[in-house]
Structure 1
Amino acid sequence: MRHVRTRPWSPWGLLLSLLCSSCLGSPSPATTPEDRAGSQGLRFRLAGFPRKPFEGRVEIQRAGEWGTICDDDFTLQAAHVLCRELGFTEATGWTHSAKYGPGTGRIWLDNLSCSGTEQSVTECASRGWGNSDCTHDEDAGVICKDQRLPGFSDSNVIEVEQHLQVEEVRLRPAVGRGRRPLPVTEGLVEVRLPDGWSQLCDKGWSAQNSHVVCGMLGFPSEKRVNTAFYRLLAQRQQHSFGLHGVACVGTEAHLSLCSLEFYRANDTTRCPGGAPAVVSCVPGPLYAASSGQKKHQQSKPQGETRVRLKGGAHPGEGRVEVLKASTWGTVCDRKWDLQAASVVCRELGFGSAREALSGARMGQGMGAIHLSEVRCSGQEPSLWKCPHKNITAEDCSHSHDAGVRCNLPYTGVETKIRLSGGRSRHEGRVEVQIGGPGSLRWGLICGDDWGTLEAMVACRQLGLGYANHGLQETWYWDSGNTTEVVMSGVRCTGSELSLDQCAHHSTHIACKRTGTRFTAGVICSETASDLLLHSALVQETAYIEDRPLHMLYCAAEENCLARSARSANWPYGHRRLLRFSSQIHNLGRADFRPKAGRHSWVWHECHGHYHSMDIFTHYDILTPNGTKVAEGHKASFCLEDTECQEDVSKRYECANFGEQGITVGCWDLYRHDIDCQWIDITDVKPGNYILQVVINPNFEVAESDFTNNAMKCNCKYDGHRIWVHNCHIGDAFSEEANRRFERYPGQTSNQIV
Structure 2
Amino acid sequence: MGSCGTWAWQELLVLLSSMWLWVDSAQPTPAGPTPQPGPQLRFRLAGYPRKHNEGRVEVFYNDEWGTICDDDFSLANAHVLCRHLGFVAAAGWAHSAKYGKGVGRIWLDNVNCAGSEKSIGDCKHRGWGNSDCSHEEDAGVICKDERIPGFKDSNVIETEQSHVEEVRLRPVVSGARRQLPVIEGIVEVRYKDGWAQICDEGWDSRNSRVVCGMMGFPAEKKVNRNFYKLASKSQPKQKRREDVGPRKRLFSERQKLNYRLHSVSCTGTEVHLSMCTFEFYRGNASAACRAGMPAVVSCVPGPLFTTANGHKKKQRQQQQQQQGQQRIRLKGGAKVGEGRVEVLKSSQWGTICDDRWNLLSASVVCRELGFGSAKEALTGARMGQGTGPIHLNEVQCLGTEKSLWSCPFKNITQEDCKHTEDAAVRCNIPYMGYETLIRLAGGRTMFEGRVEVKQGSKWGTVCSDGWTTKEAMVACRQLGLGYSLHAVTETWYWDASNVTEMVLSGVKCAGHEMSLSHCQHHGTSLSCRNTGTRFAAGVICSETASDLLLHAPLVQETAYIEDRPLHMLYCAAEENCLASSARLANWPYGHRRLLRFSSQIHNNGRADFRPKAGRHSWVWHECHRHYHSMDIFTHYDILTPNGTKVAEGHKASFCLEDTECEEDVAKRYECANFGEQGITVGCWDLYRHDIDCQWIDITDVKPGNYILQVVINPNFEVAESDFTNNAMKCNCKYDGHRIWVHSCHIGDALSEEANRRFERYPGQLNNQIS
Tell me which residue corresponds to 1:183: 181
Structure 1 counterpart of 2:316, from 287, 297, 301: 297
Q: Distance in 1 between matches of 2:660 and 2:576?
A: 29
Tell me which residue corresponds to 2:166: 168
Per-residue CA deviation, residues 355-398 of structure 1 (Å, 9 max, x unaligned), is 11111111111121111111010000111110000000000111
Structure 2 counterpart of 1:604, from 594, 601, 621: 621
Per-residue CA deviation, residues 278-319 of structure 1 (Å, 9 max, x unaligned), is 111000011002328626625747425211111111111111
Whether the 8 Å contact between 2:633 and 2:650 is mirrored in structure 1 is: no
List runs of 5+ in structure 1 lacking aligned partners. Answer: 1-33
Tell me which residue corresponds to 2:480: 463
Tell me which residue corresponds to 2:18: none
Q: Distance in 1 between matches of 2:495 and 2:151?
A: 48
Whether the 8 Å contact between 2:51 and 2:165 is mirrored in structure 1 is: no
Whether the 8 Å contact between 1:43 and 1:158 is mirrored in structure 2 is: no
Tell me which residue corresponds to 1:86: 81
Structure 1 residue 269: deviation in Å? 3.6
Tell me which residue corresponds to 1:288: 306
Q: Distance in 1 between matches of 2:746 and 2:127?
A: 49
Tell me which residue corresponds to 2:739: 722
Structure 2 counterpart of 1:197, from 184, 187, 195: 195
Within 5 A, what are the aligned runs for 1:311-460? 311-435=332-456, 440-460=457-477
Greater Cα shift, 297-306 or 274-283: 297-306
Alpha carbons of 1:155 and 1:86: their partners in 2 closer, same or farther (altered >3 Å)? farther
Per-residue CA deviation, residues 187-211 of structure 1 (Å, 9 max, x unaligned), is 1111112252111111111010100
Tell me which residue corresponds to 1:532: 549
Q: Distance in 2 between matches of 1:118 and 1:217?
A: 40
Structure 2 counterpart of 1:217, from 215, 218, 243: 215
Structure 1 residue 86: deviation in Å? 3.1
Structure 1 residue 481: deviation in Å? 1.7
The AA in structure 1 aligned to 2:257 is: H
Tell me which residue corresponds to 1:3: none
Tell me which residue corresponds to 1:545: 562
Alpha carbons of 1:295 and 1:585: their partners in 2 closer, same or farther (altered >3 Å)? closer
Tell me which residue corresponds to 1:107: 106
Structure 1 residue 277: deviation in Å? 1.0
Structure 2 counterpart of 1:590, from 607, 629, 640: 607
Alpha carbons of 1:550 and 1:146: their partners in 2 closer, same or farther (altered >3 Å)? farther
Per-residue CA deviation, residues 398-452 of structure 1 (Å, 9 max, x unaligned), is 11111111111011111011111111111111111112xxxx1111111111111
- SS of alignment partner, residue 262 of structure 2: strand
Q: Tell me, yes or no, if structure 1 residue 254 matches structure 2 residue 272.
A: yes
- SS of alignment partner, residue 359 of structure 1: coil
Within 5 A, what are the aligned runs for 1:128-167? 129-132=128-131, 136=135, 138=136, 140-144=138-142, 146=144, 162-165=158-161, 166-167=164-165
Alpha carbons of 1:386 and 1:131: their partners in 2 closer, same or farther (altered >3 Å)? farther
**Number of residue pairs matched by the alignment:** 702
The AA in structure 2 aligned to 1:491 is: K
Within 5 A, what are the aligned runs for 1:469-488? 469-488=486-505
Per-residue CA deviation, residues 569-603 of structure 1 (Å, 9 max, x unaligned), is 32232221111111011111111100111011122
Per-residue CA deviation, residues 506-549 of structure 1 (Å, 9 max, x unaligned), is 21111111211111111111111110111111111111111222
Alpha carbons of 1:708 and 1:158: their partners in 2 closer, same or farther (altered >3 Å)? farther
Q: Distance in 2 between matches of 1:308 and 1:299?
A: 15
Alpha carbons of 1:253 and 1:177: their partners in 2 closer, same or farther (altered >3 Å)? same
Alpha carbons of 1:476 and 1:558: their partners in 2 closer, same or farther (altered >3 Å)? closer
TM-score (norm 2): 0.85
Q: Distance in 2 between matches of 1:265 and 1:708?
A: 60
Structure 1 residue 605: deviation in Å? 3.3
Q: Distance in 2 between matches of 1:70 and 1:489?
A: 56
Structure 1 residue 555: deviation in Å? 1.5
Whether the 8 Å contact between 2:258 and 2:285 is mirrored in structure 1 is: no
Q: Distance in 1 between matches of 2:701 and 2:555?
A: 20
Alpha carbons of 1:324 and 1:657: their partners in 2 closer, same or farther (altered >3 Å)? same
Tell me which residue corresponds to 1:55: 54
Q: Tell me, yes or no, if structure 1 residue 265 matches structure 2 residue 286.
A: no
Per-residue CA deviation, residues 479-517 of structure 1 (Å, 9 max, x unaligned), is 532111111100000010101100000211111112111
Structure 2 counterpart of 1:579, from 576, 596, 614: 596
Alpha carbons of 1:636 and 1:302: their partners in 2 closer, same or farther (altered >3 Å)? closer
Structure 1 counterpart of 2:230, from 220, 229, 232: 232
The AA in structure 2 aligned to 1:625 is: N
Per-residue CA deviation, residues 256-282 of structure 1 (Å, 9 max, x unaligned), is 111111111345740112111111100
Q: Distance in 2 between matches of 1:712 and 1:299?
A: 27
Greater Cα shift, 228-237 or 702-711: 228-237
Q: Distance in 2 between matches of 1:590 and 1:416?
A: 29
Q: Distance in 1 between matches of 2:400 and 2:653?
A: 53
The AA in structure 2 aligned to 1:248 is: C
Greater Cα shift, 734-743 or 617-626: 734-743
Q: Tell me, yes or no, if structure 1 residue 567 matches structure 2 residue 584.
A: yes
List runs of 5+ in structure 2 lacking aligned partners. Answer: 1-30, 34-39, 83-87, 235-253
CA-based RMSD? 2.9
Per-residue CA deviation, residues 68-95 of structure 1 (Å, 9 max, x unaligned), is 1346xx6xx7353532433587765625
Whether the 8 Å contact between 1:57 and 1:139 is mirrored in structure 2 is: no
Alpha carbons of 1:599 and 1:476: their partners in 2 closer, same or farther (altered >3 Å)? closer
TM-score (norm 1): 0.87
Whether the 8 Å contact between 1:183 and 1:287 is mirrored in structure 2 is: yes
Q: Distance in 1 between matches of 2:313 and 2:646?
A: 42
Tell me which residue corresponds to 2:66: 67
Structure 1 residue 559: deviation in Å? 1.6
Tell me which residue corresponds to 1:23: none
Alpha carbons of 1:293 and 1:123: their partners in 2 closer, same or farther (altered >3 Å)? farther
Per-residue CA deviation, residues 625-683 of structure 1 (Å, 9 max, x unaligned), is 11111111434431000111101100001001101001111110101111111111111
Tell me which residue corresponds to 1:15: none
Structure 1 residue 246: deviation in Å? 0.5
Structure 1 counterpart of 2:534, from 517, 534, 538: 517
Whether the 8 Å contact between 2:485 and 2:545 is mirrored in structure 1 is: yes
Tell me which residue corresponds to 2:23: none
The AA in structure 2 aligned to 1:130 is: G
Alpha carbons of 1:661 and 1:431: their partners in 2 closer, same or farther (altered >3 Å)? same
Whether the 8 Å contact between 1:200 and 1:277 is mirrored in structure 2 is: yes
Whether the 8 Å contact between 1:559 and 1:635 is mirrored in structure 2 is: no
Q: Distance in 2 between matches of 1:223 and 1:543?
A: 61
Alpha carbons of 1:714 and 1:748: their partners in 2 closer, same or farther (altered >3 Å)? closer
Whether the 8 Å contact between 1:428 and 1:476 is mirrored in structure 2 is: no
The AA in structure 2 aligned to 1:426 is: F
Alpha carbons of 1:123 and 1:324: their partners in 2 closer, same or farther (altered >3 Å)? farther
Per-residue CA deviation, residues 97-142 of structure 1 (Å, 9 max, x unaligned), is 5x545545421246x599x999999999998752456665x36243
Q: Distance in 1 between matches of 2:465 and 2:224?
A: 51
The AA in structure 2 aligned to 1:355 is: E
Structure 1 residue 466: deviation in Å? 0.6
Greater Cα shift, 324-333 or 81-90: 81-90
Structure 2 counterpart of 1:689, from 706, 717, 735: 706
The AA in structure 2 aligned to 1:184 is: V
Q: Distance in 1 between matches of 2:591 and 2:150?
A: 80
Q: Distance in 1 between matches of 2:769 and 2:89?
A: 61
Tell me which residue corresponds to 2:10: none
